[in-house]
Amino acid sequence: MDRTKLNYFIDIGMAVSFIICFITGIFKFPGITNYFRIIYMTISASQMARIHDWSGFIMGLTVLIHLIVHWKWIVVMTKNIFKKNE
């Protein structure tokens, strides 16, 4: 797999897991559940928590992979930024 496709799939994984984690986090927020009764009748609080936890875990993994794939670029950019300030 070429690097462009790898970056694309990593970024899509991060975006999807972020959206799921963000939405379930909003639903889990105290007081917000009163406005989303229909969703809470469909999905139990424990299922919502499980989805939230797993999507957060997947997001963490994809961020870690993203940092590993882009590590050389991060190092080069950091050196360039600090060289310009000297």
Model confidence, pTM: 0.78
pLDDT the model gives residue 19: 97
Q: What are phi and psi of 16, to 5 degrees?
A: -65, -45
Q: In this model, does residue 36 exceed pLDDT 70?
A: no
Asked if pLDDT for residue 55 goes beyond 80, the answer is yes
Query: Position of tokens 């930024």?
Result: 81
Under 8 Å between Cβ of 21 and 56 = yes
Write down the pLDDT at residue 76: 94
Average pLDDT, the chain: 87
pLDDT for residue 37? 62
| Helix, strand, coil share of the chain (percent; to 5) | 90, 0, 10
Give the pLDDT confidence of 58-68 residue by residue, as tens digits: 999 999 999 99
